[in-house]
Amino acid sequence: MTNNKLEKINAIRGMNDILPKESFQWLRLENILHNLMAAYGYLNIRTPILEQTKLFARGIGEVTDIVEKEMYTFSMSQDKTDMLTMRPEFTAGIVRAAIEHSLTFDRPQRLYTMGPVFRHERPQKGRYRQFHQISVEAMGFAGPDIDAEQIILLNRLWKDLGLEDIHLELNSLGQVSERLAHREALIKHLEKHLDILDEDAKRRMYTNPLRVLDTKNPDLQKMANSAPKLFDFLGEDSLGHFNEIRKRLDEAGIEYTINPRLVRGLDYYNLTVFEWVTGSLGAQATVCGGGRYDGLFELLGGKPTPCVGFAIGLERLLSLVISDSKSETIKNLFTEMGPETDIYFIYQNVEASRKCSQLAELCRNNGFKAIVHAGSQNFKNQFKRADFSGAMYAIIIGESELESNTVSIKQLQLNPDGSSIEQTTIPTCELVDFLTKLTNKKDA
């Protein structure tokens, strides 16, 4: 006998469904972030998921793990002349959009976006193949005031979310000429330690030596600690930029650690780099990373434009909020899903169902969330659904209510003070006013 049962199809490994019992947490976090961005004058931008591969090869750097190993890249043509990539990060795409649409022609821009990004790496807790970021970019601002402002913005976010175990690490990469002098000294230092360098370090030694210092290999820590420090090569302007940021952070009461091994290994990064780290996420310690990238516009074909920005992984941040927030308000916001609806309409027959649909629209017009039961007309089943929805009130229309043009109202959940109203019947035309008075009394 042939088995005609179709094979079940599951989600791709590392690309996760976000179900309603979790999605409400995402919506609340996103709402907090949208409001914070608006408070600092950042405007929303949305770029395509698919971009030309060369955008990321040029914008992130060909000698990086992201470009070499992690990008989802494909072509729709046989000659592979139109290589496309699913975005592994946002910054390059936002800069491309700013150049293409001349966004910084009239004035500098504060921009942000949120959404999924894609990297083909081994899935683990807090690291997925499809994950989500908020990316925040200030374009056309050269001074240290904007660098400091973004850090102050982030400090406000941590406070708003009740996060205390989170700490700022800060560094300066100086300018290109200063990094080149440091690079020469660094390569000489690495050449003296060839016998202990791992294959990854040897591969990067001449192409991206700064990244060698950012090694996680414990056998290389002593070598990295004794390497020439970029700070020793910084000129007066670079030090002045960095010290002004420090002064503003000191005035804001933000504590930080200067970490000379905190780097961005690409040539278009300069001056400020920073990370916010926590001890609450195990190996995934970085919550947010950012810095200045004044050279990226020019690298992507635009006019020289100073920029600074940061990115936060939202899965990581959401996990941290749920596990670590010290704010009871935030804890409740992210653990209590709340009711699906305010009112649930229950009916006895098809004609009553139509009447319920009309009244539900009227209630929605007046700011109420309303669900009209669909399916079985069995009263017991309808009340079960109503209870499950979390609705405060059931609006009931049976045969007698249809004949008398009335509705019955039954309270399903107790008020916060433990009180409730008796089931009552009112004229249909009074429903909205009656519900408004009830909810106003309840809110008070």
| Cβ-proximal residues to 205 (8 Å cutoff; 6+ apart), any chain | 187, 190, 191, 197, 212
**Spatial separation of the C-alpha atoms in residues 381 and 37, rounded to whole Å:** 45
Q: Give yes or no for a contact between 196 and 68, defined as CB atoms under 8 angstroms apart.
A: no
Residues 20-175+235-333: name the CATH superfamily: Bira Bifunctional Protein; Domain 2 (3.30.930.10)
CA 14 to chain centroid, in Å, comes to 17
Numbered residues of the known binding site:
89-91, 119, 133, 137, 264, 268-269
Q: Give yes or no for a contact between 27 and 95, defined as CB atoms under 8 angstroms apart.
A: no
Residue from 276, 336, 337, 318 nearest 132 by CA = 318
Interhelix angle 20-39/144-160, nearest 10 degrees? 140
Alpha helices by DSSP H, listed for 205-277, are 209-213, 221-225, 236-251
Burial 294-330 (b: 16+ CB within 10 A, else e): bbbbebbebeebbbbbbbbbbbbbbbbbeebbebeeb
pTM of the model: 0.88
**Spatial separation of the C-alpha atoms in residues 92 and 300, rounded to whole Å:** 8
The pLDDT score that the predictor gives to residue 214 is 72
Numbered residues of the known binding site for L-histidine:
89-91, 119, 133, 137, 264, 268-269
The pLDDT score that the predictor gives to residue 343 is 97
CATH class of segment(s) 343-439: alpha beta
The pLDDT score that the predictor gives to residue 305 is 97
The H or E element that residue 207 is part of is none
The pLDDT score that the predictor gives to residue 265 is 59
Interhelix angle 20-39/328-335, nearest 10 degrees? 130
Secondary structure (3-state) at 20: helix
Residue ranges per domain, the chain?
20-175+235-333, 343-439
Pairing of strands 167-172, 109-118: unpaired
**Spatial separation of the C-alpha atoms in residues 415 and 148, rounded to whole Å:** 47
Profile the chain (444 residues) by mean pLDDT over runs of 10 residues: 80 93 96 98 97 87 67 82 91 97 96 96 80 97 97 98 96 91 91 88 83 77 87 94 98 95 76 93 83 94 96 95 94 92 96 97 97 92 95 96 96 89 96 92 46
**Spatial separation of the C-alpha atoms in residues 101 and 93, rounded to whole Å:** 12
Q: Give yes or no for a contact between 158 and 166, defined as CB atoms under 8 angstroms apart.
A: yes
Residues paired with 313 in a beta bridge: 133
